[in-house]
Amino acid sequence: MSEAGGGGGGRGCGCRVPQRAPWSLVAATASLCLVLATSVCTARAAPMSREEKQKLGNQVLEMFDHAYGNYMEHAYPADELMPLTCRGRVRGQEPSRGDVDDALGKFSLTLIDSLDTLVVLNKTKEFEDAVRKVLRDVNLDNDVVVSVFETNIRVLGGLLGGHSLAIMLKEKGEYMQWYNDELLQMAKQLGYKLLPAFNTTSGLPYPRINLKFGIRKPEARTGTETDTCTACAGTLILEFAALSRFTGATIFEEYARKALDFLWEKRQRSSNLVGVTINIHTGDWVRKDSGVGAGIDSYYEYLLKAYVLLGDDSFLERFNTHYDAIMRYISQPPLLLDVHIHKPMLNARTWMDSLLAFFPGLQVLKGDIRPAIETHEMLYQVIKKHNFLPEAFTTDFRVHWAQHPLRPEFAESTYFLYKATGDPYYLEVGKTLIENLNKYARVPCGFAAMKDVRTGSHEDRMDSFFLAEMFKYLYLLFADKEDIIFDIEDYIFTTEAHLLPLWLSTTNRSISKKNTTSEYTELDDSNFDWTCPNTQILFPNDPLYAQSIREPLKNVVDKSCPRGIIRVEESFRSGAKPPLRARDFMATNPEHLEILKKMGVSLIHLKDGRVQLVQHAIQAASSIDAEDGLRFMQEMIELSSQQQKEQQLPPRAVQIISHPFFGRVVLTAGPAQFGLDLSKHKETRGFVASSKPYNGCSELTNPEAVMGKIALIQRGQCMFAEKARNIQNAGAIGGIVIDDNEGSSSDTAPLFQMAGDGKDTDDIKIPMLFLFSKEGSIILDAIREHEEVEVLLSDKARDRAAILKGKMIPSYIINSNPEMETEDQPSSEKDSQNQSTEQILSLPQTVDLVDQETPENPLDSHSESSSPADIEEAAGFAPSEQLSSSTESLETTSLDGECTDLDNQLQEQSETEEDSNPNVSWGKKVQPIDSILADWNEDIEAFEMMEKDEL
């Protein structure tokens, strides 16, 4: 998890970048755009008096002195201050905190991280003393394993930021006259120490390196890792390129560019999203969920800022491509919810982490102000409820992880929103942050991280980023231009808020080349916004613009329901987004139907159970509503197209190998995101036994029955991972979850992957597969007729001769090849009359919800859809184009009983229609084995066809 993700380097207010300008002109124009930003954006007078702003600025200075002074008195030269015990945290002398300690390298981390903050806060004398201490005391050759990512953004970035401001002060002529690039030489030394981490075939760096011994040497104690986070590999270009351009040593920028190129090539091509964790050797995605928070955050940030700093438009192309995907799939204003990169219409979890608080600031740099205001306001409401932003919180704004390590991302976004809007509201937000820090986090020896925001308990921790970022952004929020001894607009902020000069864009520019190996040509320039935002357009003579966006959200945490947040757009929309998202649409919701009517969309119930949507633009209430309707229909078409792809999940196999089946019955099963991966490991073979309780949601009462066997469990009442743990603890060697929706079948419902529970699922070692009701009944009926049933769990059906080798069975069983019957899929009727102003969309009314979660423990979940239906669209698409569609729902936890209407809708929505021709039913009838085999001949053929598909 990245400790400090996100940031913003500058804001734009009307500077156009030519589409085909030379790279140097692009960089220079981008730099000019950042320089002009503040003077234009903050032209409006702020109601907060200068005296009050100065008072708050002085309060920030006093708070910094309290934190920095206690570090220097009680901790230096240690890396961090332990504010509760008033001593320094030294690696190896304190109990290990796991990955958190990878930031510590016995190199006086907090001092280096604070260098440029001292200059921003006009403490030039203290800065000069600090630089001398760094040059005299800091050793970068320690035998310690550190995080490449953290060392880059904190130490290398700190040295470069210190160097940038040291040469600025030297040029001014009063301070640092003795300085001769000593910090830059230290940065270069550190850069060379980090380079061995890039010794991989992919170019992605190892996550950790030994400062003294590098990688892979026995004494290095590192180099065996296979995975790294996307942010860890993609948050290097600013520091490494700056180091190259300061020194002329091109190797640093080249290595950082190669890592970024590889990540770009490995993006999921259909969604244009990246996962959280990637294998540094193969490039395979290890964690396939995607968001803008921990693990990915600063990757997106550095693409946009690399364009600004380096002038390479390929970085802007990449950022815009990713940003479009983020706003299409992840952004659900004001929420930002993780999704699956291959199934971006499915939410990957029901909570958000605090690191995403940087994103509104990045949106300001992008120029997309409206969603920045919305998300920031939602975060502020969470802070007002809990005093701080919890490390993670649920979609109904309850605490998920209660810690708060004094993260600065929210303060960062507050600063940039104030610079963009000039709205004094954000000064009041900053004032609240100051008051909360002093009231709840301040201790005699500094500021202590919150162990639990609900109880106010502390943790003996004060991270270096607290001094590097928090006080810098808070001071800049209240400072006037004359309060800062240099022009802050001449610099860009790194993710750790270190300052790099924009003039680097024209220094050693010959090393900045467009990478011809990356597929930039597939991108359409017309899709990209090549201009900086113009505030005269963003805020057209309306000083209340930001307030009008915030107002509907002011009670969202205490009084509103998450699913109802979408109504905000209906009251204050600017035409940028539709008032109703396709993913949220429910045909049984009267409010949704009323919204559709305003947009000119009619709903028709078809005899086959589908719902048909037809849009007539001329019937919309207004031209804006007609535009919203068009957008809604396009979203629904894309949703259906995506879900058509989801139906092509590679299935797994449950093969019955005992008498009288002998491997001839193969049941199509869905995989799990946890446990033994049958696509990479040997199959699991064993007899089956039903668990008690059958839902597997508590400790099994019949462990002797499932010991050494494959347990059968019914779906429902708890998370899939909980079921897996319970049967594993009972000694089961595998598990089969059977759908509790009677009549469901893989014939009519798309396969899906069973989700984890948001926790670490590495403890689950057994394979888990999911069977729909029809397939599960095959096994249940076989148990009733034949007491012992043996099955094989595998990634695909196995050859029967190999399975039954050595067993006494009739030869015709082994040599037989059951006839396969092929049945043509029925094609949907196509509407022969297409009109340019009409769109027709058909979709099912019913939706099958994911395995239930308890409100007390909201964790990751998946949703899957009911049977597919056809889509026809007559405006902007080929008349004969056929798409498969199904609606999906977002699981919503009620807010202390205030959202019962939504709960009822979800309950109604989860009631699926019975199969029109069910072949089996639990506990009612035992189906003859011959009939079972006949029914499944065609299913075996379908399985063999499906296993050729790729996800």
Catalytic residue positions, numbered: 150, 297, 391, 409
The SS3 call for residue 417 is: helix
Provide the CA 364 distance to its chain's centre, in angstroms: 19
Residue position matching structure tokens 């859809």: 865
For residue 127, list its beta bridge partners: none
The answer to whether the CB of 70 falls within 8 A of the CB of 87 is no
List CB contacts of 806: < 8 A, sequence separation 6 or more.
none
- Best CA proximity match to 587, nearest among 888, 898, 903: 888
Q: How far apart are CA 533 and CA 775, in angstroms?
A: 56
DSSP category for residue 661: T
Give the CA radius of gyration of the chain: 30
CA dihedral 574, 578, 579, 584 (to 10 degrees): -150
Distance CA 939, CA 822 (A): 10
Query: Which token pair is 918?
Result: 């069910």
User: Which tokens in the block code for residue 145?
Assistant: 């394993």
Which letter, b or e, does each residue of 495-511 get, where b requires 16 or more Cβ atoms within 10 Å of its Cβ? bbbbbbbbebbeebbeb
Q: Give the bridge partners for 685, in sequence order.
A: 792
CB-based contact 55:544 (threshold 8 Å)? no
- Of 152, 158, 259, the C-alpha closest to 211 is 152
Peptide bond into 501 cis (omega under 30): no
Residue 495 labeled ligand binder: yes
Nearest to residue 689, comparing CAs of 701, 675, 677? 701
Cα–Cα distance between 702 and 707 in angstroms, integer? 9
Residue carrying structure tokens 């003393």:
129
Distances (CA, A) of 291 to 320, 359, 788: 15, 11, 46
Eight-state DSSP code of residue 251: H
- Residue 252 contacts residue 242 (beta carbons within 8 Å): no
On whether the CB atoms of residues 549 and 540 are closer than 8 A, the answer is no
CA distance 279 to 260: 14
Total residues found in the chain within this entry:
951
Cβ atoms within 10 Å of 22's Cβ, excluding its own: 10
Exposure string of 64-82, with b = 16+ CB inside 10 Å and e = fewer, is bebbbebbbebbbbbbbbb
The binding site consists of 495
- Annotated binding site for Ca(2+): which residue ranges? 495
